[in-house]
Structure 1
Amino acid sequence: MRIAVIGLGLIGGSLLRALAAAGHDVVGFDADPSTRDLAREAGFRVADGVREAVAGCAVAALAVPLPILPEVVADLDGYGGLVTDVTSVKGPVRDLLAGRRFVGGHPMAGRETSGFAASEAGLFEGCAWVLCLEPHGTDLGDWLLLAGLLTGMGARVVPVTAAEHDTTVAQVSHVPHLFAAVLAGQLGASPLAGALGAGSFRDGTRVAATRAELTAAMCGGNRDAVRDELARLIGELTRMGAALERADPVEALVPLLQPASALRRAWPPRPGPTETIPADIDRLLELGRSGGWVTAVNGTELVGKRPETDRFLP
């Protein structure tokens, strides 16, 4: 299949590489001339514009930051193929692409480094890749086509709506980026903190090294869900602060910490047995809402798994 990838940073560059490795005919484009040169030097066909890149392609994958997306979409006028994206916020992108053949996507993969030089074909192997499925807005045939492409690259396709995606990524990705930034900011005020920081500080601040513009774009683009989740977590921290004021802070903190300890030790959950799932929107959404995913597409039947959720019980 001929596929265009627009935007050749870490995710777009890795997608270009992974699709090529899977045997697809790929063409890329990036607004940065030096990035285009890097991709050409790596042996890829690279266009000089969006319109040139998507011409004759069955699928166009948009891998640009949310603020840039409107101008890229404007360059798709006249393109009749299937459009997908990798943006970390799905509601605004769904609204922007209304009226087009579009299925929103978001690979839960990446690292704190960025750019085509950091890209690799194996980045998506085993990763969860959200593929949005709207009960009254997604063409199931288009969804199945993309699900087949993504599982062919080794990704685990998770079917959910855009709203469900945005609420959940606020919890597990966007707000953690903000928390990591606040934690990392302590380094500026205390040289001693930099000397004593070890494993817990390293793990808790890793994503703070992400380019500030990228973090701001994803959190700002998902403002309502991020704001709600941030308020909830601040409330939980306030409860822990109140526990420290008790006569016995150790005794007060233990019941607040135990559930999280048990949940984290049980994560990630073991996959349950393989099951066959019909190509039905309601059944697929039920799979995604249960934490399940699709591993292969065989015509009108899909192969999937869901987690052994009993491991989450404290």
Structure 2
Amino acid sequence: MRLSASLPLILAAACAHGDKAPAPPAPQQQVPPPDLPAVFAGTLPCADCPGIETRLVFLDPARYVLAERFLEREVEPRFSSGAWVLEGETLRLADRAFRWDGETLLALDAGGKPIPVQGRNTLSPGEAPTLAFGTIRRTTDGLKLEPCGGGARIEVVDGTAHLSQAIEELPGSFVELVALPAGEQLWAVDLQRIAMEGPGCEQLPTGLVARASGNEPFWGLEIDQRSLRLERLGQDPVGTPWAPFRWERGAYRYFADAGETRLGVVLTPGFCPDTMAPVATGYRAEVEVNGEKLQGCAWLGTEWKRLDGP
């Protein structure tokens, strides 16, 4: 069958007057993330109770801990944790999402729309997490912390991944916890250090951003806002100027070239048992000094919130 010579012109005209392809959706404008660490708190809707007391803790640019207590049904909160990500103005957790406007978090339903309960769908900035120090023991009434400096014992509610198990292996130990004050309780959200020996209440990491140490070869690193100081067995100490760590590829990272000393430090969140002592910490540490690589464990000091800031 022969095609008409005018057919290409007809087809071209039809295409010219046809519907245009839809324009791609405009990318979401990226809202700056909250300053970290951060806590957002509020009461969210509940189908069969007055509400869910909620605290959402952002520990670092990757990790969160969510504490939820169903009012008039539960005394202690339920905890969940995972990785969070901010996409435009949508902040996603493992099983839910919020709309972040730079100040508050608006709870979204499964379809990505705001939960239609005015006054019960927003989390606002809450009391910041703190470092708690003391001796922790398991009693018939639960976990009790005897704080450094004395005072009444405090009930600890464990929202970490490792504290309860560590106490079974290291009973009556000194602990350093990232925790939320909650009335007469402390809600533990991150274990920094638990130790049956070594520095305790008599040697708190006051003024330090972090500490790290390792074995075979033995080494120790102290970090404050003036310098990083590395000591190795049988070698002269070395130091480099302080600079904020940067968060890259799931870890806090630092590098300095100070003439004769090139020092790199990587602190990765994760449970880190000491290989030679009854001690465990909340970070794995990798140190490289002038080509020599060292591995060990790390934990945060009282100035921990400045690790990646001024």
Please give the range of the TM-score, normalised by the shorter of the 2 chains: under 0.3
With normalisation by structure 2, the TM-score equals 0.27
Structure with higher RCO (Cα < 8 A, 6+ apart): 1
Which structure has the greater CA radius of gyration? Answer: 2
With normalisation by structure 1, the TM-score equals 0.27
